[in-house]
Amino acid sequence: MKLIQQQTIQESLSVSYQIEKIGKSELDLFKKNLVEYLSKINPAEHEENAKNLVRDFFRDTFYNGKNDINTKGRIDLAIYQDDQPVVIFETKKPSTKTDPDMVQAGNLKAKAMYQLVLYFLEERIQHNNINIKYLIATNMLEWFIFDAALFDKLNRSLIISDSVPLISSNVELPVEVRVEYKSIVLERFLLLQKVDEEVQPNSVIPKRSIYPIRSLISFSRNPANSTIESLYIQMDSAPEFLYTEPFRLSAKGNHTIVIKARSREGNEIISKPIHFSIQVQ
């Protein structure tokens, strides 16, 4: 089944937008800001410059005093409705040559597309954001605008088993998880594997484990793999944090941990949630 079909601007606009009248002052503002935006495009500048120019154009032309346009986490730009992103941008710097990181009309298999999928799933699953309308990949000159409904179809079509990371590149970034109590190892397993490989038989991801209060939990790279640059931990609904050293599980009750591994090349793997309970002995 073909999920994405290319459309012209007129084909993509709903009838309600096509019959909406545009005032002369609005049209003049659009033309003025567009000319200024195009005049500032410089392939020699970095991606951050491109992001700022895109933000300024949309803010000053359409959303000034109406909606915030800002970053969120690793999302380059987002148009906000209240406190949730409703439009997500992935910006790449303009280039005089074909950029392998930028999507093309005949090839969506590019880093920009993978990042949009990642950000969409993070918003939908981790932040319960059901208000996303569009996702946009741009290099300032080319614009690929995707209806979020297409990403919803993709999300529903994915069959994700408990033994496969939620989101992954094709780079193997295994992480060992250890839970100890009074120097006794209670649990030890590999968590992150290649997305296209099953977890090895000696790697166990617990469905539900019970640990005594003050258990020590630690995360480490597979010694044979030196590509991981950093690990980030999200516990329950708290913000994620950079993992630097083992920490103790001191809050009683049920908990969930999600681990994100990031390589030097920018590849990421996000684990399926680890569910466990902390009880007083």
Tell me the per-residue pLDDT of 106-147, one tens digit each, with 9 for 90 and over: 888 888 988 898 898 888 878 888 889 999 999 999 999 998
Q: Is residue 217 part of a domain?
A: yes
Last residue of a domain, one of 102, 133, 157: 157
Please indicate, yes or no, whether residues 149 and 179 belong to a single structural domain of this protein. Answer: no
Computed over its alpha carbons, how large is the radius of gyration of the chain? 22
In 3-state terms, what secondary structure has residue 235? strand
**Is residue 49 in some structural domain?**
yes
Q: What is the CATH number of the domain that holds 271?
A: 2.60.40.10
24, 109: one domain: yes
- 121 and 252 inside one domain: no
Tell me 65's DSSP state.
T
pLDDT per position as a tens digit, 20-40: 788 999 999 999 999 999 999
232 within domain boundaries:
yes
Same domain, 107 and 32: yes
Domain with 145, as residue range(s), is 17-157
Q: Are residues 116 and 192 in the same domain?
A: no
Q: Quick one: 267 and 174 in the same domain?
A: yes
Domain boundary among 157, 190, 209: 157
User: Is residue 4 included in any domain, yes or no?
Assistant: no
Question: pLDDT band for position 250 (50/70/90)?
Answer: confident
Q: How many structural domains does the chain have?
A: 2
User: Residue 137 belongs to a domain with what CATH number?
Assistant: 3.90.1570
User: Is residue 22 domain-shared with residue 144, that is, in the same domain?
Assistant: yes
Order the strands of the 75-81 sheet from edge to edge.
69-72, 75-81, 84-91, 134-138, 143-147
pLDDT tier, 170 (very low <50, low <70, confident <90, very high otherwise): very low
148 and 193 inside one domain? no
Task: Tell me, yes or no, whether 117 and 188 share the same domain.
Answer: no
Taking residues 174-197, what's their average pLDDT? 70
- Give me the chain's average pLDDT, please: 79
Do 152 and 174 belong to one domain? no
What are the angstrom distances between the C-alpha of 39 and each of 34, 57, 69, 189?
9, 12, 22, 55
Residue 179 forms part of a structural domain:
yes
